Amino acid sequence: MFLVNELIALLAVNLILTQALGTSTLFIAANSRKNLIGTACVITIFTTLGSFAAYFTDKNLPEKYSDYTLFIYALTVGIIYVILLSALYFISRDKFVKTRKYIHVSAFNCAVMGTLFTIHNKASEDSSLLNIGSYVLSGIEAGVGFIIAALILTAAYRTLNSSKVPSSFRGFPAMLVYLGIISMAVYALK
């Protein structure tokens, strides 16, 4: 029962299904199951590390410089991007060649930046959430939410791209309608 409750809670705060954040990235990665899972995992790393950095930004940035929040978030994500690419390069050249595409796709997109801004807004509304635990947990939650959405899409990917679907609706349009129906179900859960 605990697991079911947790799953419902995760779905209810899912950034893709409730706010459409990262949908474009999900579709870009959807052309293969391997790509989708790889991208979802890298996005989880970005949202987790990004939320860690966002906490320090939100805590230390004076109110009068709040317009620079986006710039600092972008800089932070850029630094994580370079660190991940460099780490992968030094660990294994083969892995670097095989996995760098996931890092390129995952760095700057609505899923990562949207997560940071969602956490930022929640903390602005409720100051009790302005702590590192809450930020990192929200970051992990967003990443896991992306993985769940990726799995939901993967489950129907082959059917939505099959010849049984009219050619105009095959692929992206069918996937959008499918996500809409799943999103409607999640909306009912809230």
Partner 1 sequence: MNKERSSVFAGITWDNMVLSSLMVISPVIVCGDTLRNAEALVYAFSSITMLSVCIASFVPKKLPYALKVIIYALISSLVFIPVKVAAQEFYPGIVLRVGIYFPLLAVNSLIVFQTEAKFFKLKKIPMFFTVLFYVIGFDIVMLLTGIIREFLAYGTINGKVTDVDMLISGLSQPFGGFIFLGLMCGLYRKIRSMFSKEVSEVRSEADVSGK
Tell me if 18 contacts partner 1 by CB under 8 A.
yes
Contacting residue, 19, 57, 99, 134, with partner 1 by CB under 8 A: 19
Helix boundaries (H) for the chain: 2-12, 15-19, 23-29, 33-60, 69-91, 93-107, 110-125, 132-160, 172-189
Contacting residue, 43, 45, 77, 149, with partner 1 by CB under 8 A: 77
**From CA 163, how far away is CA 168, in angstroms rounded?**
11
Question: Which segment (5-13, 34-42, 133-141, 170-178) binds partner 1 by CB under 8 A?
Answer: 170-178
The residue among 61 and 173 lying less far from partner 1, judged by its C-beta, is 173
**From CA 43, how far away is CA 51, in angstroms rounded?**
12
Q: How far is the CB of 72 from partner 1 (least distance, A)?
A: 8
Per the structure block, which two tokens stand in for 74? 């972008």
The answer to whether 176 touches 16, Cβ cutoff 8 Å, is: no
Per the structure block, which two tokens stand in for 143? 């990443």
Q: How far is the CB of 105 from partner 1 (least distance, A)?
A: 8
Q: How far is the CB of 113 from partner 1 (least distance, A)?
A: 5
**From CA 167, how far away is CA 51, in angstroms rounded?**
41
Tell me if 89 contacts partner 1 by CB under 8 A.
no
**What are residue 166's phi and psi, to 5 degrees?**
-55, 140
**From CA 12, how far away is CA 6, in angstroms rounded?**
10
Q: How far is the CB of 74 from partner 1 (least distance, A)?
A: 4
Question: Which segment (22-30, 51-59, 127-135, 138-146) binds partner 1 by CB under 8 A?
Answer: 22-30
Tell me if 56 contacts partner 1 by CB under 8 A.
no
Tell me if 81 contacts partner 1 by CB under 8 A.
yes
Residue of 50, 12, 3, 17 whose CA lies nearest to 180: 17
Q: How far is the CB of 3 from partner 1 (least distance, A)?
A: 25
Site for partner 1, rule CB under 8 A: 17-24, 27, 67-71, 73-75, 77-78, 81-82, 85, 104, 107-110, 113-114, 117-118, 121, 166-169, 172-177, 179-181, 183-184, 186-187
